[in-house]
Amino acid sequence: MTRYSSNVWPGKHAPLGATWDGQGVNFAIFSEHAERVELCLFDATTNSQTESINLTENTDWVWHCYLPGAGPDLLYGYRVYGPYAPEQGHRFNGNKLLLDPYAKSIVGDLHWSDKHFGYRIGDEQEDLSFDERDNADQMPKSRVIDSIFDWGDDTPPNTPWHDTVIYELHVKGFTQLHPYLPQHLRGTYLALAEPQVIDYLKDLGVTAVELMPIHTFIDDRTLVDQGLRNYWGYNSINYFAPDSRYAANRPVTDLKVAIKTLHEAGIEVIIDVVYNHTAEGNHMGPTLSYRGIDNSAYYRLVPGDERYCMDYTGTGNTLNMMHPRVLQMIMDSLRYWVNEMHVDGFRFDLCSALARELHEVDRLGAFFDIIHQDPVLSGVKLIAEPWDLGEGGYQVGNFPPGWTEWNGKYRDAIRDYWSGKGGSIAELATRLTGSSDLYFSDGRRPYASINLITAHDGFTLHDLVSYNEKKNEANKEDNQDGEDHNRSWNCGVEGPTDDPEILALRERQKRNLLTTLFLSQGVPMLVAGDERGRSQGGNNNAYCQDNEISWLKWDLSGADQELFEFCKRLIAFRKRHPSFRRRHFFEGDAVNNNGVKDIFWLNPNGVEMTQDEWQHTHARSLGIGLPGQGIRDVDNRGEPVIDDDFLMLLNADREEVTFTLPQILDIKTWTLALSTYDPHSPAEPFSATDEYTVPEHSLILLQHKRSP
């Protein structure tokens, strides 16, 4: 067995992490308040520690060394020594093996026990006590990697924002039950590169997959004790290493293969990142990495009472974005995923927490300033979940230019309208047209709004129209977890039913919601399985359900197959017609002096809405005219963009509504383009002077085709 401790070179303090250069490995780890740092090496076969190397070099608070002859697959961890003074924010405990924050690969599972805590559990002084037990045998290990990969001529698809259709999926849940994939590939990164999966995504028509967290994460002890798992993965312990639970072979290589293959198919890869908190939890949490390396540097602590963590995330801690080394770690992580892993963008979980410079949310905080000027990161897709759980954390519409946002106001407005809530048409109109009230004033475009009806968190689309109340008993929290106010409507019966009228209404409601999503200005996000009727049995918080409650089922019933075909048609229709993916906001007046307004708002009498009519609490019907000559846009050659004329008629009432077709456009005939009431209705032309009856709970799209 090779012994490295007899020949240790000083090495360099940059880059941080373990870097193999072909002849040896440089190790570098930051700790401002440590008094001593040990690099511990392990045997991959026995998981036993083979050597301990004292890092004597310290440059700019970075401890470092170089091991000549060391190379890929070497397993390692750190022991960091310093003051154990919780009242001062210091929680060093050299008995605990720690993961390298910059590790590119992490192997092995965390086996929970009391040994992972820096204090003695059950001691009357709780976290002020000190635990002397060694936890190395139950800890995963950091692994040195060879980063070489043949990317060939891989280039990012660079899909323009206004042409983007996002598909949010869970790496495991998406393919775990796929019947035509090899068993060993199901639920893995490599499954995303399989022809059957690629063909499905292309057939559906999405342009980007948004992967739920794939940074290495930890299953909470409380969940493991109950036989559950942290399925969603919003519990990161490292921001560089892809989680090995989704690997068929090697996680880094497997994921690179998947990304390269998706790019070849023209599909972008966006990853969901959780830089707001870590898996170490509050002051009573375990010591696995950052807490033991330098607790007071990595975490926001309560000023004047540094024993405790500031918690803007509801998970116990918040990363300290005000410390330059923590900010550097996050920026290094982001650049690593773009430069080395070739991802196309990021969705930032609880992004408001990253903007908290002191206590208030600062929308122009250092984090956003740095990203805005970064030559790598300023060119990728940036999506904020624009809220956290702290005071003032709801920041929809307040992120700076260059950012898009999950638009929670869009979600709420569309759900409210189609569930039959009266008096919501003014809010509906604002959201359908790109939410200019949120994004226009700071120079952003309609595609700053990421439009969503559902997401991983909450009801699926099927459950949204099938349940009024959550059914979270499987989470073993007495149904106390999850959102209580879902803005859902079960269509008259709670949960499963055989009533054909209820079933037909639910299918229509799903089509209403999907059609609204894909005909709205902004960027649509579809959750994997919503296009095929996936249900979680009413569970609206399935974060701990790594089982068939969450996994996508690939066998389709007749209704589910019809929904899938309808969704495909919708996405293809959106792609054909620039009227529904505009790059500029509507202005409501004439365009280019041609006398044609860019949008008309119509009541059922076929005349434009008055100001008073927008306030009617009983109003549940609305007409929208979209003249094809009213698009304020040019193509890549500078030519004006022209489309067909469209008339959208929405009726969320429980009774049919007859619309008088408007005379505001010089149109002789209309053709039915889409009907959510009967998706198989023939596209037959009829006179523009006719009346059109829109059935209850349905959306009709009429089209007037213009000559090229």
Residues known to be catalytic: 349, 385
Q: How many CB atoms lie within 10 A of CB 191?
A: 24
Q: Which residues pair with 51 in a beta bridge?
A: 41
- Coil, helix or strand at residue 410: helix
Q: How many CB atoms lie within 10 A of CB 97?
A: 29
Cis peptide before 685 (omega within 30 of 0): no
Determine the Cα–Cα distance for residues 444 and 218; give it in Å rounded to an integer: 37
Sheet with strand 669-675: strands edge to edge = 600-602, 621-626, 645-651, 698-704, 669-675, 685-687
Angle, CA 216 vertex, CA 213 and CA 221 arms, to 5°: 100
Angle, CA 597 vertex, CA 403 and CA 570 arms, to 5°: 55
What tokens appear for 227 in the block?
Answer: 């036989």
- Coil, helix or strand at residue 471: coil
Helices 558-576 and 500-519 meet at what angle, rounded to 10?
20
Going along 332-428, which residue ranges are E strands?
A: 345-348, 381-384, 404-406
Determine the Cα–Cα distance for residues 401 and 361; give it in Å rounded to an integer: 16
Determine the Cα–Cα distance for residues 686 and 680; give it in Å rounded to an integer: 17
Q: How many CB atoms lie within 10 A of CB 612?
A: 7
Q: How many CB atoms lie within 10 A of CB 57?
A: 17
- Coil, helix or strand at residue 118: coil
Amino acid at 406: W
Q: How far is CA 417 from CA 353, 425, 437, 650, 693, in A?
A: 31, 7, 19, 10, 19
Residue 37 CB burial class (10 angstroms; 0-12, 13-18, ≥19): buried
Q: Note whether 288 and 221 are within 8 A (CB).
A: no
Q: Note whether 443 and 401 are within 8 A (CB).
A: yes
Angle, CA 552 vertex, CA 546 and CA 554 arms, to 5°: 140
Q: Note whether 537 and 549 are within 8 A (CB).
A: yes
Torsion angle defined by CA atoms of residues 133, 136, 140 and 146, in that order, rounded to the nearest 10 degrees: 150
Non-local (6+) Cβ contacts of 652 within 8 A are 417, 418, 419, 420, 512, 620, 621, 697
Task: Give the helix/strand (H/E) hosting 564.
Answer: helix 558-576
Q: In 3D, which of 482, 417, 410, 414 has the Cα closest to residue 653? A: 417
